[in-house]
């Protein structure tokens, strides 16, 4: 592909479900730059820290560029023939359910569509599931129970139009930052707008919250059934709406009334006063949107939580109206696209139902398929259990890393290792999953591929290629179509462009629809390549002109405006849910571990881990613990902590903070064996799932914590990534000019000079060293002429060297001996104060600089921005800056 240097290409961010528009450009020297697309309706030009750093993730290092069989290079023909013949043979010998695809919300809709078509219509099994099962399956199940369809009723605009936003289990500030910024901006314009945060942790999202309800883990069903009962008791129901448009209200209210306020308080850990204030605010605010994400979905009661929330909106008639409704926001860039094509084991394409024989017959006829899956396939957790016990004998994993992200990840890894035939399509040559593949298929990455994605508000946007395809990488849809053809399904997989696939997907959505199904993009069934290239973001439904107005009135952008739903009687269903109080903790595992995400990393860091900028905000795996628990378990701040569950243990840095709820721990799920010694968090989580949705309960795991007694700590910077790190604890992160490494050792009996040589080049370099064996202090630096190849700092306690300063030295010239000795001293000169831990990734501004600016009189985030530029680009750090200002004010007042 030729690059037009002057041209900015309009594409979409590949990270979260906000689905921001991006303008990307490649300069003559190959440098990629990105900025927010001012015309995209999801972000209007904004990008968060991850989106802003996309250009740093497009390099070709670590890429898988050629097909491989058993680790050796092969031609595409050899690899595709082997995949096709092995799948065909396995099906012939053991039946269609002996094979499975495990796919991803990272796939584009066109990739997803073909994978689903191949498995459900041509293999004849529904054994295709997706990592979106881990993200929002409970929302899908809750929608289908209540609405008769997987419909997200509202739009982002509703957030700005509302008078009350209730955020449940959702750290928007870090996980959906541009939505958070839109809410923050709306609040600035309309200060009367209220925000309530329901979250066990005081996350950065609390920055915009008028009320933070620090709820007990899994207390959400109790909170919202309590709200339903309270609405009933306080005459705050919309009785006319309930009668005209819903069914099952009586049973739901009866179930909700089983708990009185004191019972709800006990189940939620909230006071009756807090509950009363929240309930009364909800009751009196007509324009209320309840936003929820993983904190609701990733639970063994996830579907009930979703329906408990929806019940309250139905009871007040607050759905399908501007500024009102329940709103599930999705984690992944194309979780919604996956739902549209039926990329989950229990769904059919185009929002049709696998249990419905008419739907199955219709899809089979449309595809002219030899078969159609007759029953739901195995959901993710069950799929890997079937791999483990040998029922699944051939597995194709596309664009995801289950060895790190599935619950009970150790067992999943063992299952994959034991599987007779594993194919992985990926962009990276080495991930914790790719390493176990018999066949590795190189896929195109963001910036190289064309297709569409759907964001959380049902908006379909194009991802467009702006980079040449490297090596022999190929788009996922092409790989799937090639395998399908080689399995003998030529005609149905003859697509030559993603435009053809999209047109077919659109045609299926409209096929014999007549308004009976919510997902209809029939208006695009006739797109050709040119239309597709020019496709502007649009929201579904988008039926073809002339399609009759549907029973739900769904030709508007907001669903259910006329009170009709997709159930047989057109009424929304209340679901009678009962709070269950679960105690998973035991005397051996007395704490509840909550897993989640951080601001600047994404999933298993396969992309964000490439960015020096994003790797500086938090460069190590960590666990948050409340000070009381820390004291009880003998954990000090910055200690290395061993967190254990019956399934495994990890070693992570302890962060002692009152933001954490007492009795609970929080740890991020991003770190893998590629970035840390022992920090694969999902080796701790259980394969316990929600009984309706099959979504794993990743946020409520009984765990214990103890201090890992390190006798020696270390920190290193190196120009090249170390090949080995023989330490009990290590965590490696990119920095500008190289890598930074945190280390800890159970003993101090180490030859530190030899160890330094294992981290960075010391041969043929000038090595400067300082050793104080008695004090346990060692510093070793190696110079290749005027350039630092690496430096190692060893101490008996956490190393007190400025990380930012040390990392910067990799890119600086050290002409004089004095400059070189300064590195061995581990100190910047007096003219170079330590910036401290990075807060603003865009302008590399640290906490110490912000603290100094506050001391000098900067009292607002804008004043900090004017002085240091921090927070003036993507804005993702503004809540942290505000927290630093507040903390310094409190300190000054004490």
Query: Site residues (CB under 6 A) for ligand SF4?
Result: 13, 15-16, 18-20, 43, 47-48, 50-51, 176-178
Q: Are 228 and 256 in contact (CB under 8 A)?
A: yes
Tell me whether residue 20 or residue 480 sits nearer to ligand SF4 (CB atom). 20
Q: How far is the CB of 106 from ligand SF4 (least distance, A)?
A: 13
Shortest Å, Cβ 36 to ligand SF4: 7
492 secondary structure, DSSP code: G
**DSSP one-letter string for 816-854:** SHHHHHHHHHT---TTS----SEEETTTTEEHHHHHHHH
Task: Kindly tell me the burial class for residue 626, based on how many C-beta atoms sit within 10 Å of its own C-beta (0-12, 13-18, 19 or more).
Answer: buried
Helix (H) / strand (E) containing 706: strand 701-707
In the complex, what is the shortest distance from the CB of residue 13 to ligand SF4, in angstroms, rounded to a whole number?
3
Q: Tokens 């890429």 identify what position?
A: 63
| Nearest distance, CB of residue 12 and ligand SF4, angstroms | 8
16/228 with CB nearer ligand SF4: 16
Report the residue number whose CB is nearest to ligand SF4.
Answer: 51
Tell me the closest approach of the beta carbon of residue 21 to ligand SF4, in angstroms: 9
235 φ/ψ sector (left φ>0, alpha ψ -120 to 50, else beta): left
If you search the block for the tokens 């496709």, which residue do you land on? 535
CA distance 803 to 715: 8
Cα(526)–Cα(544) distance, integer angstroms: 10
Q: Shortest gap between Cβ of 750 and ligand SF4 (angstroms)?
A: 41
CB of 44 to ligand SF4, least distance (A): 11
Whichever of 43 and 285 has its CB closer to ligand SF4, that residue is 43
What is the DSSP annotation of 626-652? Answer: -HHHHHHTT--TT-EEEEEETTEEEEE
| 459 phi and psi angles, rounded to 5 deg | -100, 125
Nearer to ligand SF4, 584 or 607 (CB): 607
Distance CA 350, CA 337 (A): 10
Closest separation between CB of residue 598 and ligand SF4, Å? 12
Q: Which is nearer to ligand SF4, 45 or 776 (CB)?
A: 45
If the CB atoms of residues 328 and 664 are measured against ligand SF4, the closer one turns out to be 328
Helix (H, G, I), strand (E, B) or coil at 653: strand
Comparison of 20 and 103: residue with beta carbon closer to ligand SF4: 20
**Angle, to 10 degrees, between the axis of helix 109-117 and the axis of helix 476-486?**
20
Nearer to ligand SF4 (CB atom), residue 170 or residue 316: 170
Pick between residue 179 and residue 481 the one whose CB is nearest to ligand SF4: 179
* Cross-strand bridge partners of residue 652: 641
Q: Which is nearer to ligand SF4, 47 or 710 (CB)?
A: 47
Least distance between ligand SF4 and beta carbon 880 (Å)? 16
Name residue, tokens 């820390």.
Answer: 630
Name the residue nearer to ligand SF4 (CB basis): 52 or 285: 52
Query: Least Å distance between CB 364 and ligand SF4?
Result: 36
Q: Do 708 and 640 form a contact (C-beta atoms < 8 A)?
A: yes
Smallest distance from ligand SF4 to CB 425, Å:
23
Tell me which residue of 846, 830, 826, 849 sits closest to 838, measured CA to CA: 846
Q: Which two tokens stand for residue 587?
A: 């005397």
Which distant-in-sequence residues (6+ apart) come within 8 Å of 38 by Cβ?
Answer: 44, 45
Q: Which of 66, 141, 135, 63 is nearest to 104 (CA)?
A: 135
Of 13 and 791, the one with the shorter C-beta distance to ligand SF4 is 13
Instruction: Give the nearest distance from C-beta 179 to ligand SF4 in angstroms.
Output: 7
Phi-psi domain of 124 (left: phi exceeds 0; alpha: psi -120 through 50; beta: other): left
- If the CB atoms of residues 297 and 873 are measured against ligand SF4, the closer one turns out to be 873
Least gap, CB of 207 to ligand SF4 (angstroms): 16
Contact 475, 495 (CB under 8 A): no
Sheet of 459-463, strand order:
451-454, 459-463, 538-539
Asked if 575 contacts 315 with a C-beta cutoff of 8 angstroms, the reply is no
């Amino acid at each position: 592909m030729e690059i037009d240097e002057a041209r900015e290409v309009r594409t979409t961010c590949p990270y979260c479900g906000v689905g921001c528009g991006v303008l990307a450009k490649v300069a003559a020297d190959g440098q990629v730059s990105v900025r927010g697309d001012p015309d995209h309706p999801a972000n209007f030009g904004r990008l968060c820290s991850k989106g802003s750093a996309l250009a740093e993730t497009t390099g070709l290092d670590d890429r898988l560029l050629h097909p491989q069989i058993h680790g050796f290079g092969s031609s595409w023909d050899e690899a595709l023939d082997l995949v096709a013949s092995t799948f065909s043979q396995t099906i012939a010998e053991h039946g269609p359910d002996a094979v499975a695809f495990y796919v991803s919300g990272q796939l584009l809709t066109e990739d997803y569509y073909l994978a689903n078509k191949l498995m459900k219509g041509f293999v004849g099994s529904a054994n295709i599931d997706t990592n979106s099962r881990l993200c929002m399956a409970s929302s899908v199940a809750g929608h289908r129970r209540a609405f008769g369809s997987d419909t997200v009723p509202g739009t982002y605009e509703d957030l700005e139009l509302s008078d009350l936003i209730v955020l449940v289990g959702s750290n928007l500030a870090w996980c959906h930052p541009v939505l958070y910024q839109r809410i923050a901006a709306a609040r600035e314009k309309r200060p009367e707008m209220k925000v309530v945060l329901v979250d066990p942790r005081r996350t950065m999202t609390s920055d915009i919250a008028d009320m933070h309800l620090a709820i007990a883990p899994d207390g959400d069903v109790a909170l919202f059934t309590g709200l339903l009962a309270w609405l009933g008791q306080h005459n705050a129901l919309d009785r006319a709406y309930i009668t005209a448009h819903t069914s099952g209200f009586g049973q739901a209210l009866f179930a909700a009334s089983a708990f009185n306020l004191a019972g709800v308080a006990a189940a939620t850990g909230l006071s009756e006063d807090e509950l009363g204030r929240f309930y009364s605010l909800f009751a009196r605010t007509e324009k209320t949107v309840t936003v929820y994400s993983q904190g609701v979905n990733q639970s063994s009661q996830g579907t009930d939580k979703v329906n408990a929330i929806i019940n309250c909106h139905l009871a007040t008639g607050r759905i399908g109206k501007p500024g009102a409704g329940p709103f599930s926001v999705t984690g992944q860039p194309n979780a919604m696209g996956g739902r549209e094509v039926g990329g989950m084991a229990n769904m059919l394409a185009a929002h049709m139902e696998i249990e419905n024989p008419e739907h199955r017959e219709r899809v089979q006829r449309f595809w002219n398929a030899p078969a159609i899956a007759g029953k739901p396939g195995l959901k993710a957790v069950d799929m890997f259990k079937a791999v483990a016990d040998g029922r699944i004998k051939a597995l194709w994993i596309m664009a995801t890393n289950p060895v790190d992200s599935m619950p009970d990840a150790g067992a999943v890894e063992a299952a994959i290792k034991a599987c007779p035939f594993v194919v992985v399509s990926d962009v990276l040559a080495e991930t914790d999953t790719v390493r176990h593949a018999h066949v590795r298929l190189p896929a195109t990455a963001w910036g190289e591929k064309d297709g569409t994605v759907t964001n959380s508000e049902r908006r379909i946007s194009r991802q467009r290629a702006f980079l040449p395809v490297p090596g022999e990488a190929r788009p996922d849809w092409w790989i799937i179509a090639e395998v399908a053809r080689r399995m003998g399904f030529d005609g149905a997989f003859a697509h030559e462009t993603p435009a053809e696939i999209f047109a077919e997907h659109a045609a299926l959505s409209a096929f014999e629809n007549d308004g009976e199904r919510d997902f209809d993009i029939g208006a695009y069934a006739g797109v050709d390549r040119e239309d597709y290239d020019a496709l502007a973001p649009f929201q579904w439904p988008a039926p073809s002109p002339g399609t009759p107005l549907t029973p739900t009135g769904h030709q508007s952008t907001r669903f259910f405006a006329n009170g009709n739903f997709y159930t047989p009687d057109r009424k929304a269903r209340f679901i009678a849910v009962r709070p269950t109080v679960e105690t998973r903790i035991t005397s051996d595992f007395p704490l509840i571990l909550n897993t989640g995400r951080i601001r600047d990393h994404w999933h298993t860091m396969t992309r964000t881990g490439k960015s020096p900028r994003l790797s500086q905000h938090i460069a190590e795996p960590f666990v948050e613990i409340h000070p009381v628990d820390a004291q009880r378990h003998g954990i000090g701040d910055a200690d290395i902590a061993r967190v254990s569950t019956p399934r495994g243990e990890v070693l992570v840095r302890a962060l002692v903070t009152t933001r954490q709820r007492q009795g609970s721990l929080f740890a991020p799920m991003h770190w893998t064996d590629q970035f840390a010694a022992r920090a694969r968090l999902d080796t701790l989580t259980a394969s316990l799932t929600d009984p309706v949705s099959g979504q794993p309960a990743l946020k409520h795991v009984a765990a214990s914590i103890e201090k890992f007694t390190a006798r020696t700590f270390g920190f290193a910077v190196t120009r090249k990534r170390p090949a080995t790190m023989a330490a009990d604890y290590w965590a490696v992160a990119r920095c500008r000019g190289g890598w930074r490494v945190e280390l800890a050792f159970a003993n101090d009996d180490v030859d530190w000079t030899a160890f330094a040589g294992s981290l960075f080049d010391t041969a043929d370099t000038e090595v400067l060293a300082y050793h104080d064996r008695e004090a346990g202090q060692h510093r070793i630096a190696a110079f290749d002429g005027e350039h630092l190849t690496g430096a190692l700092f060893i101490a008996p306690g956490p190393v007190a060297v400025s990380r930012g300063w040390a990392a910067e030295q990799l890119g600086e010239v050290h002409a004089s001996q004095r400059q070189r000795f300064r590195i061995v001293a581990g100190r910047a000169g007096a003219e170079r104060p330590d910036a401290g831990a990075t807060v603003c990734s865009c302008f590399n501004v640290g906490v110490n600089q912000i603290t100094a600016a506050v001391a000098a009189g900067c009292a607002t985030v804008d004043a900090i921005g004017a002085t240091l530029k921090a927070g003036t680009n993507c804005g993702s750090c503004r809540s942290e800056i505000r927290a630093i200002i507040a903390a310094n004010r409190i300190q000054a007042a004490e």
